Amino acid sequence: MTGAGEPSEGVRVAVGSRRRAKVEAVAGAVARLWPGAEIVAVDVPSGVREQPVGLAETRRGAAARARAARRAAGAAFGFGLESGVVWRGRSAWAVNVVCACDSAGRTAWAEGPRFPLPPAVSGALRAGLTLAEAARSWSGAAFSPELGVVHLLTEGAVERADLWRAAVALAAAPLRHPEWYAAGEAGGRRGG
């Protein structure tokens, strides 16, 4: 396994989405971890609802995307990035989960920041809208799915790709250095 910054020509990394923010996040992390690696964006199904609810469903979607993308692209590594919503009482919180897998069958996980959503967005989610629909309803024309609700809430200080980048790098760590994680969930399990 190559160390960070070592040339990685010939390494193929698949992203289980063609969404700009997700591809940019993986490309940004991979450029530092595996310079020269080829990034392949693949539209694959998540196998979960359009708006995953709960951490378990969000993780299932991320895992399905990572595995399907890796297989479809014939890649050494696959990354699945899935946004979901978790409930804390009557308040909805956004969650972002990354699953990374490799050709050896190892699976690793990381999460991006969780953050609370405004009550109006929570109410729209309770009524059955997706987060994108709820954010658009709440904000009007200001909402862009590529920039995400986080862009609205932070007034442009944070974009969707920013949420993902660190989580992608952290999910890659157990695959790059399995010896660091041999006894733990992140790097010691196959399948996940």
pLDDT in tens, 10-56: 899 999 999 999 999 999 999 999 999 999 999 999 999 999 999 99
User: Does some domain include residue 123?
Assistant: no
Considering the domain boundaries, does residue 138 fall inside one? no
Are 186 and 109 within 8 A, CB to CB? yes
Q: How many domains does the chain have?
A: 1
122: in domain:
no
Tell me the pLDDT tens digit for each residue of 90-130: 999 999 999 999 999 999 999 999 999 999 999 999 999 99
- Residue 186 has what pLDDT? 54
In single-letter form, the type of residue at position 129 comes to: L
Distance CA 134, CA 111 (A): 22
Q: What is the pLDDT of residue 146?
A: 82
Q: Which CATH number fits the domain that encloses residue 68?
A: 3.90.950.10
- Give me the pLDDT at residue 142, please: 75
Bridge partners (DSSP) of residue 86 are 93
